[in-house]
Structure 1
Amino acid sequence: MAGETLDAICWRVLGRTQGVTELAYALNPGLAAAGPQLAEGTQVLLPEITESAPAMRETIQLWD
């Protein structure tokens, strides 16, 4: 999508960004030079993740 960022793609497709965005930049040389927002139609290779994403932490509400 036009204007999407690599970390947003990693989150949407892989379910996480920690450690994954850096791997994606390594797989896509020159992508960082294009700026934070990608042009529409930009092809991006994503890393293959073998371990599962870390479990989401339970959140609490401090005030009602």
Structure 2
Amino acid sequence: MPSTYITKAGQTVDLVCLDFYGRTRSTTEIVLDANPGVAALDPILPIGTVLVMPDIDIRPAARELVKLWE
């Protein structure tokens, strides 16, 4: 179930993702998609902007093993 986040002074969407998810990689675009119109705001979001924070699997993706010799 998605959560909500209320922005603080000086926050951008990527800083919100860092604060909420603990990372920005693969989260910023998802949050922007879940909050239509937020990208049209100033890069520094107004204080008190309510953002929908979707459930995102925050485990790191497994890296593919590269074999140098077979």
- Give the structure-1-normalised TM-score: 0.74
Of the two structures, which has the highest relative contact order with CA contacts closer than 8 Å and spacing of 6 or more?
2
Superposed CA RMSD in Å reads: 1.4
Aligned residues: 54
Runs of 4+ displaced beyond 6 Å: none
Q: Which of 27, 33, 39 is the matching residue for 2:46?
A: 39
Return 5+ residue gaps in structure 1 as ranges: 55-64
Identity over the aligned pairs, expressed in percent?
A: 39
- Give the structure-2-normalised TM-score: 0.69
Q: Name the CA distance, whole Å, in 2 between partners of 1:36 and 1:22.
A: 14
Q: Which has the higher helix share?
A: 1
Q: Which has the higher strand share?
A: 2
Question: Larger Cα Rg: Structure 1 or Structure 2?
Answer: 2
